[in-house]
Structure 1
Amino acid sequence: MCQLFIGAAPELWDSRTKSLRIDGVATSIRMEEFFWQVLEEIAQRDAMTVNQLITRLYFEAIDAGHDMGNFTSFLRVCCARFLALAADGEIRRSDTSPLSEVDAPRLLQREAERRNTRPRATTREEAKRLN
């Protein structure tokens, strides 16, 4: 199992810093190359640069009332969600249609339904009691 992860190109976990302005404020974001590549893929789908995508994500998250105290973590989770949605068949990575055209409320509803029907993981303590 670990070979799937440790066999990946080491460049993917090299950190890279990108400087940009959000609402006129200069900021720097440091993430692993892997996440920059995923952000690039997401940005291209909506005909944006990575800087434009990051700025849009920031403002939409603020408008939704989210605390952006750890914005870099938020960006990593955005990347992971994009890949998870593709893995779940909700979107296709090979598709070039903009993500802005995805019916987000409907997709989020399907996700919630799957979460509610998925069996709960058994903790080690529960497993011991069952045996």
Structure 2
Amino acid sequence: MEPFVDEHAVRNTKTRRFRNVLIVIGLLLVALAVLNPTREDFSDFAANDLHDKLGGWLPGGATDLLARPLLNSIAERDNYILFSVYSIPDIKDGKTFISDIQAEKKYLGLFKRFFFEL
């Protein structure tokens, strides 16, 4: 004999799990939209990254006075509501910047703090 299985209870459990998954996905999407990084968030990240790459060669005050406003003005933002993609010129050497202005570095921005190079 098979043990008694309440099919209605099993169906309710599956429905609750599906509903909970949808709620979690919905909350994640809302959080992504609310925390979509702004241009200022990206310029802060890029200026700090530049300061780290230069190994402290550029004083911290210069980063605040020069790098952040410059990066804020040259960064291009593609806003996709849930995330943003930022593009800045890729300056490998002087020739790259002058002859190939189309060379770009692209970054994916999520949750105001996370930027990943694409």
Give the shorter-chain TM-score range. 0.3 to 0.5
TM-score (norm 2): 0.33
Structure having greater relative contact order (Cα 8 Å, sep ≥ 6): 2
TM-score (norm 1): 0.31
Q: Larger radius of gyration, structure 1 or 2?
A: 2
